[in-house]
Structure 1
Amino acid sequence: MAHTTHRTHAKEKVARPAVTAPPSPGPAAPRGVRARKLLTPWLFLIAPLALLIVFTYAPVANMVAYSFTDWDGVSPELSWTGVGNYVDIFTRAELFQVFLVSGYYLAASAVQIGLALYFATVLSFNLRFRNFFKGVIFFPYLINGVAIGFVFLYFFQDGGTLDSVLGLLGYESDRAWLGTSASANVSLAGVSIWRHLGLNFVLFLGAIQSIPGELYEAAELDGAGRWQQFRYIIAPGIRPVLSLTVILSISGSLAVFEIPYIMTGGATGTETFVIQTVKLAFQFNKTGLASAAAVVLLLIILAVTWVQRRLVPDDKVDLV
């Protein structure tokens, strides 16, 4: 009995962890080494920060300054007009009503987001030829916007591709697709959907594929169908990307330029705010007024973005 007690005390002594003293702090690094560690990241940031300031913030500052003048863009002399240019923008209906054209592109953006989300959801599952369809959807975004404008200019002209296809289907159309304001804006908005669908599609597809596959497997074991998987897994999982896409779509619909400029030049009621701004600056030599218009557009986009971020905060998504 004594031997057993002795062995038990011996085991207890062996089982106790050894207490080690905390390591003593090493010698402090020299002041020069610490300074280099602090300055090294900034050395790598000098070039991009310089480019950002020179090509982004400095031009924006000059644009804001020119918006308070009557500069014509050529003369070295300019006069201070105060807020006169901004008063003109908000009081002259022909300068501000072009924002109504953005409504067509805003509606097109909603259709575009819906189509991109649908195709991204369908092609995220195992389907035959899904990589081929991914390429087909994304390909238009790779084409130059000027080339797309010329292609669809012949597509919508009288007796063009669209009329020929409708004739083969037995429908004879005498409509001038770019001849009236409503039909022209609807046609241009349709081109915008085709052009930018691929970008939103790729954003949604990447977000969907980043969701862990175990969640889909667990949902299938619980008997969830495709719609339940979309509603309870995909939709919450891609909410940050969806929020970003909405911001890009709204800002893009307010700043449409190349497609209507190439196809109609702003005629037949298709002039957008950006086309009007370009004409004010380079056709009518009213650079000060054009700068004020650009500042107004920038403020509207920032305000819309702020409101959207307040309504839909970018919270962390937890699907588990």
Structure 2
Amino acid sequence: MNALSYKAQRKLILISFLSIPLALLCLFTYYPAVKLIYLSFTDWNGISKSSEWLGLSNYKEIFTNSDLFGVFIHQIPYVIIGVIQNIIAIVFAVILNSKLRGRNVFRVMLFLPFIMNAVAVAFMFQYVFDTTNGSLNSLLGMIGLSSLQQSWLGDMSLVNFSLASIGFWRFMGYNMVIYLGAMQSIPGDMYEAAKIDGSNRFQTLWYLTIPNLTKIIQLNMFLTLSGALAVFDLPFVLTKGGPAGASETFLLKTIETAFQFNNYGLASAMSVVLLLFTVLILGIQNAVINRKGE
């Protein structure tokens, strides 16, 4: 009887401890997600209590309207720069994983941009990219490369690469630290065995280090690609989507659709599409990286 009473008390305590976080999870995660999916099939304007059921009309509007779906092309530079960022992060991790004098100082210097506030970083680079008094154009003029001076945030062909380069500067050190931690977990006797077998530095990197980093590369690439799909803060602060909408991103367009045009139904559908795209890219990436790992 005492054993049953103890089991009952134990079960009651477990249920009590689990019920609160589960209730909060359902209230703030699952319910909004279900509500978002429901609203994506309606024309709700964010004010009225009722809404008209539209079926797949919102999704049809997204995929047929180039002003909505077409802005994804603006995010290609973020993907390109993000991939380069991960490659450079691995290179720096390899260098700083060696017995380099002052390597801890370099690690801190490269990681510092990540802890800076995103809005502060955006305003800082607003000065860097300023056409007239910007430090980048001034530097190019000082070293005799005046022909390369540009309107970095005013040129439609350059603006997204300029914005993506800010993300490169900010997140490269963070990715480097992740790769560095993964490298330090690789047993040292594996490197010793490779050295005995006559492996040079490049062969060691390609056939030993990179395969052991497969899961970390997979994680960082997911964060990079999902971040490239959900870019918002940099174009919002620096360009407001300009010039002439050249730096608008899908998330920026989604927020504009919801809060400026009060079309919460279409904005909800756009959010669902963004989520599905993220899941699709994650699946493709996992398939490619896992195949490479095998």
Fold match (TM-score > 0.5): yes
What residue identity is the alignment partner of 2:216? V
Shift of 1:232: 2.4
Comparing 215-224 with 270-279, greater Cα deviation is found at 215-224
The answer as to 2:281 corresponding to 1:308 is no
What residue identity is the alignment partner of 2:219? L
Shift of 1:202: 1.7
**Residue segments in structure 2 that go unaligned for 5+ positions in a row:** none
**Residue segments in structure 1 that go unaligned for 5+ positions in a row:** 1-27
Shift of 1:55: 2.0
Of residues 148, 151, 156 in structure 1, which corresponds to 2:121? 148
1:3: which partner in 2?
none
Of residues 211, 215, 224 in structure 2, which corresponds to 1:236? 211
SS in 2 for 1:81: coil
Contact 2:214/2:289, CA 8 A, preserved across alignment: no
Structure 2 distance, partners of 1:266, 1:137, is 29
Structure 1 distance, partners of 2:125, 2:289, is 36
2:198: which partner in 1?
223
The answer as to 2:98 corresponding to 1:121 is no
Shift of 1:229: 2.0
What residue identity is the alignment partner of 2:59? Y
2:154: which partner in 1?
179
Aligned in 2, Cα 1:121/1:43: closer, same or farther, shift over 3 Å? farther
Question: What do residues 154-204 of structure 1 show as CA deviations (whole Å, max 9, x unaligned)?
Answer: 110112111111121122255211112111111111111111112211211
What residue identity is the alignment partner of 1:73? G
Tell me the number of residue pairs that the alignment of Structure 1 and Structure 2 aligns.
Answer: 290
Question: What do residues 51-108 of structure 1 show as CA deviations (whole Å, max 9, x unaligned)?
Answer: 3222222211111111111111123232222211111111111111000011111101
2:261: which partner in 1?
284
Of residues 165, 168, 190 in structure 1, which corresponds to 2:142? 168
The answer as to 2:267 corresponding to 1:267 is no
- Alignment of structure 1 residues 1-320 onto 2, 5 Å: 30-38=3-11, 40-158=13-131, 159-172=133-146, 174-268=149-243, 269-313=246-290
Structure 2 distance, partners of 1:297, 1:195, is 24
Larger Rg computed on CA atoms: 1
Structure 2 distance, partners of 1:206, 1:126, is 15
Question: What do residues 4-23 of structure 1 show as CA deviations (whole Å, max 9, x unaligned)?
Answer: xxxxxxxxxxxxxxxxxxxx
Residue identity (%): 41
Aligned in 2, Cα 1:47/1:184: closer, same or farther, shift over 3 Å? same
What residue identity is the alignment partner of 1:111? I
* TM-score between both structures, scaled by the size of structure 1: 0.84
Structure 2 distance, partners of 1:51, 1:45, is 10
Two-structure CA RMSD over aligned residues (Å):
2.2
Contact 1:240/1:314, CA 8 A, preserved across alignment: no
What residue identity is the alignment partner of 1:306? G
Comparing 31-40 with 48-57, greater Cα deviation is found at 31-40
Contact 2:89/2:172, CA 8 A, preserved across alignment: yes
Comparing 270-279 with 35-44, greater Cα deviation is found at 35-44
* TM-score between both structures, scaled by the size of structure 2: 0.91
SS in 1 for 2:158: helix
